[in-house]
Amino acid sequence: MSNNLIALQNKFLGHGQTVYDKLSQLHEKKGFIGDGDIQAVATEFNLPPQHVRSTAKFYEELAHDSPTKHQIKICNGEACQAAGCKSLESGLCADLDATLGKTNSNGIRIEHVACLGYCGLGPNATIDGLPVSLADEDDRQAAVNHIKQGTPLGLMEPTNKIYKPLLDQPCVLMRHFDANVVSIDRARAAGIYKSLEKAVTSMTPVQVIEQVQSSQLRGRGGAGFPAGIKFQTVADAEVEDGSGRKFVVVNFDEGDAGSYIDKELCERDPHTQIEGILLAAYACGASEVFIYVRFEYPRALSILKQAADEALKAGIIGPRIFGSDFGCVVNIMKGQGAYICGEETSLLRSIEGVPALVSFKPPFPAQKGLWNCPTAVNNTETLHNLPWIIEHGGAAYGKFGTGRSRGTKAVSINSRVKRPGMYEVELGITLRELIFDLAGGMANGQQFKAVQIGGPLGGILPEHLLDTNLDFESLAQVNGLLGHAGIVVYSQADDLVEIARGLMKFCAVESCGKCFPCRIGSVRGTELFDQMIESGVTDERLELMNELCETMKYGSLCALGGMIPTPIECLMQYFPEELDRYRQKSVATMDA
């Protein structure tokens, strides 16, 4: 069905002009999309109203169907849960006489957002599109006064702390962080784009791929697939429609709560990101790139657009780059609030302009991806490594790390530690070294309880596993996940049953709905957690949860549904005492 809809909209709107684009432009202008708007778009472009409506309602932002005067989005990701977002939510709702998810009589709407990328500074929110930290009571009151009385907000967008590696440690991703290289002049003075010039003027695409393969670089978005093999697959793939079109798609839809790695890379060093993207395109034989930027990162979107415009004016983007035969177009696309777009096939469907439903694999995107053409889908951090690899050689990069996990990894840590922020570490460091040495251990005299790595689908690990290495294989052995390496540390003040319930609820909201194990299982799992929290844990309920997890793990179409059970299984395996507290509640209820 989606292929037919894509072909139909391309017939009337042209390649690269989709219903998604039109609706996004309309929402940008009005702030909402009403029924009349949907009908008008359908009529103007001779498309079925159902297609326009289904696209609008799939995405969180485009689904807004009424105007607002003020919009507040409260982060309820795991890091902000640990930082007290529930108290912030209840306080703002009371102060503003608002109900979560509804627009009140004063035009104020309060909603949830999964993450804003300031996980060491929470609890966080956006006020009319501006990300702010509301950890301080005075700042919360300033937000309320701004909305109720029209006083100036007076709050600045937060800034994450950055901790570069020590001098004797490898530094790849953060090597330009000490200098302001946001402008192209400063970037080129720092040597950015020299690797691209070297590649397109003195190396063949095959030689670039060989260097990436020798580096043993694996995808940093979660799956850990070897980047060099993906590039080779796209380069070798035949284009069935005879157009010769191949694409690189950059997954900058960083939605894992607790992670702000890609955000910092693009905001602080956008030209290295563009250089890495163009190197990937050259290696794959792609002449067009799409960068899909998360809606919740307006600053990163603005900086990337400016960097791309500068590179275009300098002749670095466009035809005959550095006088070579290689040319490439770079498109920057704004996401509209759908976590599932972090899954590669969903991301491609979104770019094509239809609801971002997961597609069956095979064929894989490297064979048939965007518009059925070979496509390399890579996350931001993966591509940020490429300029260093071409400059120093793949073998030099491959010396870093451990086992099959080579190179360095950026990690981000939440506010439960003394030095929250973003770090670059060599793969193979232990969790204990990372949390208690680099990040200084627990903040405010709190006691460590658990750590979750890799976002809402990542495992929750106890203290006795802190000597586990931070790498793909070691974490997998303990039912963990490296993922994007967003790290959320929990203290004894955190209720892991409530955390797990929030994770299940998040996935129920964010499921694309295409397969029933994920669509129905996440809803039933949330209901089961509600029952255990309200009336207690029983053996029957735990057995049902185990069966539900097994069904989702083996029956879901993509990794979202298949990995929802991971943190839940960790809760049952490593933290039985957390559940036992609710089991005692069950006994007390029965006694009453």
d(CA 281, CA 392): 20
**What does DSSP assign to residue 435?**
I
Residue type, 247: F
Tokens of 450: 């658990």
Q: Do 446 and 349 share a structural domain? A: no
Question: Does residue 546 lie in a domain region?
Answer: yes
Q: Do residues 562 and 519 both lie within one domain?
A: yes
Instruction: Please indicate, yes or no, whether residues 241 and 389 belong to a single structural domain of this protein.
Output: yes
Q: Which tokens in the block code for residue 82?
A: 């640990």
Q: Measured in whole angstroms, how far is the alpha carbon of residue 52 from the centre of its chain? A: 26
Short-list 464, 590, 499, CA closest to 536: 590
By the 8 A CB rule, do 181 and 306 touch?
no
Q: What is the pTM of this model?
A: 0.93
Any idea what the Cα angle at residue 301 is, between residues 299 and 304, rounded to 5°?
110
The tokens describing 227, both together, are: 């980047």
Q: The domain spanning residue 568 has which CATH number?
A: 1.20.1440.230
- Decide which of 491, 507, 537 is a domain's last residue: 491
Within a domain: 336:
yes
CATH number of the domain enclosing 280: 3.40.50.11540
Q: In what helix (H) or strand (E) does residue 133 lie, and over which residues does it extend?
A: strand 130-133
Listed residues 491, 509, 529: the one ending a domain? 491
Tell me whether residue 286 is in a domain.
yes
At 323, which amino acid appears?
G
CATH at residue 432: 3.10.20.600
Asked if 415 and 283 sit in the same domain, the reply is no
**10 falls within a domain:** yes
Burial 96-109 (b: 16+ CB within 10 A, else e): bebeeeebbeeebb
Q: State the residue range of the domain holding 223.
A: 184-398
10-residue stretch averages of pLDDT, the chain, 592 residues long: 54 64 92 94 90 93 91 91 90 92 91 90 91 92 92 91 94 96 98 98 98 97 91 93 89 90 97 98 97 95 98 97 97 92 93 91 92 95 98 98 96 95 97 97 96 94 98 95 93 95 92 91 95 94 95 92 94 96 68 50
Same domain assignment for residues 334 and 389: yes
297 lies in some domain: yes
Residues 45 and 191 grouped into a single domain: no
- What integer pLDDT is reported at residue 428 of this predicted model? 97
pLDDT value for 1: 45
Task: Tell me 465's DSSP state.
Answer: G
Q: How many CB atoms lie within 10 A of CB 471?
A: 21
Cα distances (angstroms) measured from residue 99 to each of 31, 81, 279:
20, 19, 49
User: How does pLDDT run across 252-297, given as a tens digit for each residue?
Assistant: 999 888 899 999 999 999 999 999 999 999 999 999 999 999 999 9
What's 45's domain CATH number?
Answer: 1.10.10
pLDDT attached to residue 14: 47
Q: Is residue 64 part of a domain?
A: no
Q: Are strands 108-113 and 70-75 parallel, antiparallel or unpaired?
A: parallel
pLDDT of 11 reads: 46
Both structure tokens of 489: 């540390």
The answer to whether residue 544 is domain-embedded is yes
- Whether the upstream peptide bond of residue 131 has omega within 30° of 0, thus cis, is no
Number of domains in the chain: 5
The number of C-alpha atoms within 13 Å of 161 and in the hemisphere containing its C-beta is 14
Do 340 and 484 lie in one domain? The reply is no
Please tell me the distance from the alpha carbon of residue 477 to that of residue 474, in angstroms, as a whole number: 5
Q: What is the pLDDT of residues 306-339, one digit of tens each?
A: 999 999 999 999 999 999 999 999 999 999 988 8
Is 283 inside any structural domain? yes
| 40 and 80 fall within a common domain | no
H or E element that contains 383: helix 380-384
**Which pLDDT does position 9 carry in this prediction?**
54
Walk across the sheet containing 108-113 and list its strands: 108-113, 70-75, 124-127, 130-133
**Cα–Cα dist 244/437, whole Å:** 51
Please state, in angstroms and as integers, the Cα–Cα distance from residue 70 to each residue in 30, 31, 107, 147, 155, following that order. Answer: 13, 11, 6, 7, 16
Task: Choose one of 346, 379, 398: the last residue of a domain.
Answer: 398
Same domain, residue pair 418 and 335: no
